[in-house]
A and B are shown apart, each in its own frame.
Chain A
Amino acid sequence: MSSAAAIYPVEGVLLVSIRDDITDTDIVDLQDALSERIADESANGVVLDISGLEIVDTFVGRVLAQLTSIARLLDAETFVVGMRPAVAMTLVELGMYLPENRTALSLTHALAKMRQMRDE
């Protein structure tokens, strides 16, 4: 796996940090690696930190939605955090509202929300 994306285990969830220079191949690799990790560590949550991402296209948008669906099949809730205003506007412009994805402002918010969900 390349350095364009890294997976860290935090509080029983997997934090995925995506850098701006991520390529399409990297994303496909990431999808692979992440599915393995979720299954191996039976993580119950995934946080995709895309605060480093400045440019998105439909491919990235689709992969974000796919990662969420994959994680859900493996019984893990996914949060997308740190989306930049420009990225949000672009995705909406492209018609990708990502209805499947849960979103949060930051990692802290996402972890709090996950804890809350678990408690309920």
Chain B
Amino acid sequence: MPPSALENVLDILKTDQDGVLAGWIEVADEEGVKRSDLFSEREGREQAASLLKAFRNGISERTDKDDFDIQAEHWADLRGVLGEITHERVERGVQPSEMAGFVLALKGPLFSRLKERLAKKPEQLVEEILIASKAIDAFAIYTNEVFIAEREAVIERQREEMMELSTPVVELWSKVLTLPLIGTLDSLRAQEVMENLLQAIVHYQAEVVILDITGVQTVDTQVAQHLIRTAAAVRLMGAKCIISGISPKIAQTMVQLGVDVGEVRTRSTIRTALTDALLTVGYAITPIKNHQEGTLV
């Protein structure tokens, strides 16, 4: 066994890099992975060339003989190039399958050259094809991983933005705050909501807080637990907490789930909650005497 089982692959890449590159791009084009609408031919060629170069360098520095591990140090260069190309293509809207197809297209030209070269040594041919195939598969999988990581980064960013937008504490009246909750309430958001609300209580010296859950789609035991905890923390701060916007459906679910809100005050609409809150701080909304419809006072 030679020191590097991929010595023929390496040799091909050294002597006939242009040929392999041309073959690669041709195969990729045939299989329909070329996206001239998304990036130019020259760009595609450059990317393929830099990938091929990194592949060659990786093989020549290769120390592990049988096991192929893309996380190994000598593949760092290749990982970098692959990551960069994938990143660029993701931004332009290339699909993961297309990217993988592009990488896998390298097999065709490479293996046909190997076959010519090792026609008389079938054993070694099989050996090299096996390892090279494994390597190229791993590259394709790696591009997929990069794809997923990119997507996840986007999702994470959007989640953070949503979080910032979703916990506005509003001062309705002096000493009366409201926090309209919209969407789903997971542990992380519940924590954020609680933090913002408690800070606002200190800031506004609020006595009553209305937690409006009209916009919360579903209330399960976990959400109910978060609500109760928030209400408990508000009470510990010395303010009163009213939960409003409990729809008949949510009320039924909560009872069926056996959720006990304890001493927390609950109201069906924010309107009744507001009336209640104003009463607590000593105000009332009363109609104006002799009011003319449509006049702005």
Contacts and interface: CB of A to CB of B under 8 A. Distances in A.
A44 interface: no
B233 A103 contact: no
A91 B204 CA distance: 22
Contact of A85 (B195, B206, B232): B195
**Pairs of residues from A and B, 10 with the lowest C-beta to C-beta distance, nearest first:** A85-B198, A103-B238, A104-B238, A105-B238, A88-B236, A88-B233, A97-B232, A92-B233, A92-B229, A92-B232
B229 to A, nearest CB: 5
B235 A85 contact: no
Contact of A103 (B206, B229, B237, B263): B237
Contact of A105 (B194, B199, B205, B229): B205
B195 A105 contact: no
A89 B238 contact: no
B237 A85 contact: yes
Interface in B183-216: 194-195, 198-199, 201-202, 205-207
A80 interface: yes
Contacts of A110: 238
B254 to A, nearest CB: 19
Question: Contact residue range for chain A?
Answer: 20 to 34
A85 B202 contact: yes
Contact of B236 (A92, A106, A109): A92
A82 B263 CA distance: 21
Contacts of A106: 205, 238
B236 A81 contact: no
A18 to B, nearest CB: 15
Interface in A57-109: 80-85, 87-89, 91-92, 97-99, 101, 103-106, 109
A101 B236 CA distance: 8
Given A89-B194, A89-B195, A92-B229, A105 B201 contact: yes
Contacts of A98: 236
A106 B238 CA distance: 8
A83 B232 contact: no
Nearest to B235: A103
Given A87-B236, A88-B198, A103-B236, 14 more contacts: A83-B236, A85-B201, A85-B237, A89-B194, A89-B233, A91-B233, A92-B194, A92-B229, A97-B236, A98-B236, A103-B238, A105-B237, A105-B238, A106-B238
B77 to A, nearest CB: 47
A57 to B, nearest CB: 15
B265 to A, nearest CB: 15
**Residue in A83, A85, A99, A104 whose Cβ sees the most chain B Cβ within 10 Å:** A85
A98 B206 CA distance: 20
B229 A83 contact: no
A17 to B, nearest CB: 16
A83 B237 CA distance: 5
Given A89-B194, A89-B198, A105-B207, A81 B229 contact: no
A85 B199 contact: yes
B239 interface: yes
